[in-house]
Amino acid sequence: MKVLSFLEAMDQLDDRIILEVASTMNSTHNNKRRSFGRKLTATLLVAAALLALSAAAYATGFFGLRALEKGESYSADTVNGEKEFVGISITQPQDVPDEADEAIREKVENSEKAWAEWLAWCEANTPAEPAVFTPPDEFCYMDMQENGDGSCTVSFYRNVDDEGNYLTAEELWANPPIEQRQASAEELAALSAAAEYQRSQYPGYDFNYHVHDAAGAAALEEIAARYGLELRREMERFLDADMQAVPDDLEGAMPRAELTAWINENFGSGCLFAADPYGYDKFYYYDDGTFAVSWYPEPLEMRPLGDSWIEVCPTWCYLYNSPYGTLSSGDEIGVAVTRDALESAQCREYSAADGTLLNVVQLGGDGIGGMSQTFAYVYLDDSFVVLQITSERQLTDAEVDAILDTVNFGNIG
């Protein structure tokens, strides 16, 4: 994924996950194109968070992690030394149990094939950045200075030391560039055109598809139709403000109780929540049946922040419902954890209060950035549902089960 598209995708992630990952990692993930400063550094750390889970499920023989594992891993420096990270998706099943209905398996495989074709089309039809701007080393910072005649001088600076640690701004500029090049006015125009293409978004589609023009829209529609898949159109979203859900245009507010009733009526066959949430972080949905809701399952606490106080919930939940018949990349929402946390994960089954049999994966160690992480998922007839539970403390099985019992999983779809 290109940098600009990736930055756009970050809006879907819980802001706290970004802070958690950024506070615990000193990633050596490279920025090959250009420097976006601290914002991109944090974003790339979350890209770290857009990957993984694996080993423990296979070790126990339980299907557990296979449904979530992206099959991608990488190494990155952390405060505790270099760690291997593996990634998971909570928006599309990465594997299907043998006992699952064959129609489910076919739809999941069709989505994978269609997405691969769409990526190939995008690669072949995306305006290329001129080679003059490609760094000679993967750990380079690029700087451009205009020459006054339409051209510019492109300078590349090493931005990590010999141990792979990022240099400070003072350290970076204290060293001479490792290479300089001259870019013509035509090459600058081509770079601008490529950047503008990446920034553009063709209306009528979920931004996660990265449709930039009419040609792309036509290609995406053709690929989806050939595999019999639906597409997510434009998102409808409600955001939180002082524990109240507020539409994107910020005109008016829907009180928490009213939002809960509306969600229950429209997304839970009468009742999604068996127990009302204490507050909401976000809620959004698409007309194909995809929806996500982030909420607080326990009372909020007042905590000091500078000279004021803020409301904080030590535990929060993120549920994502993904219809099998919708084209999905599996990259819409995800997290990354260390291999160590995976190897000490606990995998089990739990029958929720509504009778739905869930697969539950509780990460070992400190989960992500000191936050405990639990994932519960189920293959329903029409969709794959994942509930991610994040907490400041290590939750017991009983505490996790109590949260799972607040959702009527069987009413989804």
Residue by residue, pLDDT tens for the chain (413 residues) are 333 333 334 344 444 333 333 333 323 333 322 222 223 333 333 333 333 333 223 333 346 678 888 877 777 766 666 778 888 899 999 999 888 899 999 999 999 999 999 999 999 999 999 999 999 987 788 999 999 999 999 999 988 888 778 888 888 888 899 999 999 999 999 999 999 999 999 999 999 999 999 999 999 999 999 999 999 998 888 765 545 555 544 445 577 888 888 889 888 787 999 999 988 888 999 999 999 999 999 887 888 888 888 777 889 999 999 999 999 999 999 888 777 777 778 889 999 999 999 999 998 765 566 788 999 999 999 999 999 999 998 899 999 999 999 999 999 97
86: amino acid identity, one letter: V
Chain centroid, CA 263 distance in Å: 23
User: CA-to-CA distance for 311 and 298, rounded, in angstroms?
Assistant: 12
Contact 269, 413 (CB under 8 A): yes
pLDDT confidence of residue 90: 92
Among 343, 334, 335, 325, smallest CA distance to 384 is for: 325
- Whether the CA torsion 293, 339, 22, 157 is positive or negative: it is negative
**DSSP β-bridge partners for residue 378:** 385
User: CA-to-CA distance for 56 and 69, rounded, in angstroms?
Assistant: 11
**DSSP β-bridge partners for residue 83:** 76
Contact 210, 122 (CB under 8 A): yes
pLDDT confidence of residue 1: 36
244-247 and 279-285: which strand pairing? unpaired
| Beta strands in 58-139, from DSSP E residues, in sequence order | 69-78, 81-89
Contact 330, 88 (CB under 8 A): no
- Cα–Cα separations (whole angstroms), residue 190 to 132, 134, 138, 194, 388: 11, 13, 22, 6, 42
- Residue 10: DSSP 8-state: G
User: CA-to-CA distance for 25 and 74, rounded, in angstroms?
Assistant: 13
396: amino acid identity, one letter: T
Q: Residue 5: left if φ>0, alpha if ψ -120 to 50, beta else—which one?
A: alpha
pLDDT confidence of residue 365: 64
pLDDT confidence of residue 3: 33
pLDDT confidence of residue 387: 97
- Whether the CA torsion 342, 345, 348, 352 is positive or negative: it is negative
Residue 91: both structure tokens together: 């928006």
- CB burial class (10 A; 0-12, 13-18, 19+) of residue 182? exposed
186: amino acid identity, one letter: E
pLDDT confidence of residue 57: 30
Among 148, 151, 143, smallest CA distance to 177 is for: 143
pLDDT confidence of residue 18: 35
User: CA-to-CA distance for 73 and 368, rounded, in angstroms?
Assistant: 16
- Residue 9: DSSP 8-state: H
For 110, the enclosing helix (H) or strand (E) is: helix 102-125
Number of Cβ atoms within 10 Å of the Cβ of 139: 18
User: CA-to-CA distance for 182 and 146, rounded, in angstroms?
Assistant: 10
- CB burial class (10 A; 0-12, 13-18, 19+) of residue 375? buried
Chain centroid, CA 183 distance in Å: 35
